[in-house]
């Protein structure tokens, strides 16, 4: 049984569909440990043995081969594999570059995209079924992205547009894949919960280590990329980014993990929550703090009094258990200074706040003046491809709400945002899955990410996979529980027939 299951424990008859499902659920953990654990053992042992040059070239192909096998045979383990590829790939790249020399465009960084491409099989297979009511909002989103790609090719170039279309499209594909995999909902739910609970512990602990000690490969990377916004490459002078490439995605991964932690039961979630909450604070990402607060508010609002009391107790216990780390002088001073920058006059005097207000005032006309938009590839990391490896002028857009029309244009932006609005609205109107605690977590995750669109585009890249995958889980859960209810009614009628 999972932490979120609605069905009370009982022994299903041998050979029944539920018995087969239970056996598949039990297989998820050992299969994940064998294949996913084996992959990371090979990678880490190769790095430890000094074979980083070879790792640079076998990492992505091996990740794809294992992903393809798991995708076909063990879908839940495939999802675990994909999450950990997203979690740890930047870390592997930094270690390899530190030991074997810096490369501006590392093949290692293609691994999450290559493994994610496998889910296009699901989209192609079920493409005609996108006209179903709960899936139809994905149609205007895909149409908008299809229109923006050729515009991006014309304006930014083929390579930047082709790379950036992966950042825009693949997270949406992941949501569609999970939604259409509703028959495996229980397995996918368990695998995702396990991945994020373990991820909270591992990535949170590494982030705390990074703050106090800062590994040489992390310091090397900071010096090379010259990202001044994350501090200096020295212990206790860095905004931690963990195993990811910047504090923003790292903080959001931890925020999502904490929401899952707080919705789960047992001792492991609490243990995972301790390093996660400390690392989230040390990331100093105020937008992620606000997003986490919004997600927590939704969880409290959606629960009955009994579950609400348990959630409040879980939050309190997690904070209390984190106090020994939070009370360390270096940690408390760093976090307190950042919190003060959000309050009263200090918020208005904060340079980041001033820069963001200035950006809004100057960029809004550019964002809304082009009816067809600049196209995919005009913003973000893709600008490095057309700018000799350096982030272009539009590499960072301080508002996702403005970046969408700037990239997609008026029509594309309207189609894209209307699809998102329909999907998010539908998550709060679910009928059959209303008592499934994991759906409440999914809704909370979606909102926690969406509210941050004011600050930056949260619907693309790694953070986008968090948003779209949990939208997919909401749809899959509704279909799963509706099917369960229908089966139960059919069984009841059969039993009562003379």
| Cα(166)–Cα(162) distance, integer angstroms | 7
Neighbours of 313 (CB within 10 A): 10
Mean pLDDT by 10 residues, the chain (498 residues): 42 48 61 88 94 95 96 92 97 96 92 97 95 95 96 94 95 97 92 93 96 96 87 93 95 95 76 91 94 93 83 85 87 87 64 69 79 92 81 82 93 96 90 86 94 92 96 96 80 56
What element of type H or E holds 19?
Answer: helix 17-31
pLDDT of residue 51: 94
Record the tokens describing residue 51, joined without a space.
């074979």
Going from the C-alpha of 248 to that of each of 134, 242, 254, 280, 441, the distances in angstroms are 31, 11, 10, 10, 21
Q: What is the pLDDT of residue 8?
A: 39
Query: Are 275 and 324 a contacting pair, CB within 8 Å?
Result: no
How far is residue 170 CA from its own chain's centroid? 12
pLDDT attached to residue 27: 64
Pairwise CA distance, residues 425 & 348, whole Å? 33
pTM higher than 0.75, yes or no?
yes
Would you state the pLDDT for residue 6? 42
Taking alpha carbons only, the member of 255, 203, 232 closest to residue 90 is 203
| Residue 321 C-alpha from the chain's centroid | 26
For residue 230, give every residue at least 6 positions away whose Cβ sits within 8 Å of its Cβ, in sequence order, or none.
222, 238, 239, 241, 246, 247
> What are the structural domain ranges in the chain?
29-131, 133-482
Judged by DSSP in three states, 445 sits in helix
Q: Which residue, 443, 319, 310, is CA-closest to 3?
A: 310
Tokens of 465: 């996979």
The pLDDT value recorded for residue 43 is 96
CA nearest to 84, candidates 185, 198, 245, 181: 198
Give strand ranges (E) for 21-75.
none
Q: Return the closest-CA partner of residue 291 out of 348, 321, 249.
A: 249
């Amino acid at each position: 049984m999972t932490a979120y299951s609605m069905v009370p424990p009982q022994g299903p008859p041998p050979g029944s569909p539920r018995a087969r499902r239970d056996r598949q659920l039990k297989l998820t953990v050992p299969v994940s440990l064998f294949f996913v654990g084996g992959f990371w053992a090979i990678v880490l042992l190769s790095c430890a043995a000094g074979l980083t040059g070879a790792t640079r070239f076998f990492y992505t192909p091996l990740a794809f081969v294992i992903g393809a096998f798991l995708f076909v045979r063990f879908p839940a383990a495939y999802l675990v594999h994909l999450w950990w590829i997203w979690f740890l790939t930047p870390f592997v790249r930094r270690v390899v570059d530190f030991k074997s020399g810096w490369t501006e465009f590392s093949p290692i960084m293609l691994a999450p995209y290559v493994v994610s491409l496998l889910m296009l099989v699901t989209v192609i297979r079920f493409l005609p079924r996108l006209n179903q009511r709960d899936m139809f909002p994905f149609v205007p989103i895909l149409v908008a992205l299809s229109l923006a790609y050729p515009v991006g090719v014309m304006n930014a170039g083929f390579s930047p547009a082709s790379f950036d279309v992966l950042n825009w499209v693949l997270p949406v594909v992941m949501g569609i894949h999970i939604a259409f995999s509703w028959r495996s909902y229980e397995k996918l739910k368990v695998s995702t919960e396990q991945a994020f609970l373990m991820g909270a512990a591992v990535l949170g602990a590494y982030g705390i280590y990074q703050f106090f000690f800062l590994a040489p490969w992390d310091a090397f990377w900071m010096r090379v990329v010259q990202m001044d916004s994350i501090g200096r490459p020295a212990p206790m002078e860095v905004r931690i980014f963990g195993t990811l490439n910047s504090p923003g995605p790292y903080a959001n991964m931890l925020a999502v993990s904490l929401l899952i932690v707080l919705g789960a039961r047992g001792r492991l979630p609490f243990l995972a929550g301790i390093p996660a909450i400390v690392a989230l604070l040390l990331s100093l990402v105020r937008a992620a703090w606000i997003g986490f607060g919004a997600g927590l508010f939704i969880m409290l609002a959606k629960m009955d009094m009994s579950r609400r009391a348990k959630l409040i107790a879980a939050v309190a216990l997690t904070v209390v258990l984190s106090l020994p780390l939070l009370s360390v002088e270096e940690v408390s001073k760093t976090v307190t200074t950042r919190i003060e920058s959000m309050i009263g006059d200090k918020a208005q005097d904060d340079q980041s706040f001033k820069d963001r207000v200035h950006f809004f005032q100057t960029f809004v006309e550019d964002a809304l003046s082009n009816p067809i938009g600049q196209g995919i590839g005009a913003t973000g990391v893709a600008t490095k491809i057309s700018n000799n490896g350096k982030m272009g002028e539009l590499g960072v857009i301080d508002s996702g709400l403005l970046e969408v029309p700037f990239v997609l244009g008026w029509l594309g932006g309207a189609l894209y945002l209307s699809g998102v609005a329909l999907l998010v609205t539908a998550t709060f109107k679910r009928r059959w899955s209303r008592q499934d605690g994991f759906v409440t977590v999914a809704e909370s995750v979606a909102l926690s990410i969406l509210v941050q669109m004011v600050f930056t585009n949260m619907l693309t890249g790694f953070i986008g996979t968090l948003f779209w995958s949990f939208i997919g889980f909401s749809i899959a859960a509704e279909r799963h529980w509706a099917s369960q209810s229908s089966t139960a009614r059919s069984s009841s009628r059969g039993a009562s027939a003379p």
